[in-house]
Amino acid sequence: MVALIGAVVFIIVFLILTLISIVVPGFPPAEMIIGLFGLPESEYTVYINAIVNGVIYGVIIWAVFSVVNMAVKRPKKEEAKFANCPKCKNIVVARKTWTMMGRPDKIGQRTQMEIGLFDCPHCNITFKRILSKKKV
């Protein structure tokens, strides 16, 4: 999905800067780059300059977008929690999950439990399950 957004960013910047380069001839850096190759002047020079500018600025903006996009941390999507129904043994998705801290044991560590609430659509029962336990 991010690659698709990067392509859209490139295309939008390419189109905008190509049009700006057609309206404002001499917009850098295309004339300088085309001058390095020694291409002769023609009636299409303005359009060639515009396309070169669109590609150059499009690649620059796309690269900046990609680097910023990689640097931004996104929250991870929460994974669906599953359990088997105690009555009909079908796999059911949790309606709600939460964490709960248990009482301290003999050495003072507490157990953190993740609990899920499940509704079985097949046999119409609601049940809880401990999804994970860890000592903290």
Residue spans of the domains in the chain: they are 2-71, 82-135
Q: Which of 103, 107, 102 is nearest to 133 (CA)?
A: 102
pLDDT at 14: 95
Distance of CA 38 to the CA centre of its chain: 43
**What percent of the chain is predicted at pLDDT more than 70?**
95
Q: What is the pLDDT of residues 111-132, one digit of tens each?
A: 999 999 999 999 999 999 999 9
> What percent of the chain is modeled with pLDDT above 90?
53
The answer, yes or no, to whether residue 1 has pLDDT greater than 70, is: no
- The whole-number pLDDT of residue 2 equals 61
Structure pTM? Answer: 0.53
Q: How far is CA 85 from the centre of its chain?
A: 35
Instruction: Spell out the CATH class of 82-135.
Output: mainly beta
Q: Is 24 helix (H, G, I), strand (E, B) or coil?
A: coil
pLDDT of residue 63: 94
Residue-wise pLDDT tens digits, 71-80: 887 776 667 7
Q: What's the average model confidence in pLDDT over 63-75?
A: 85
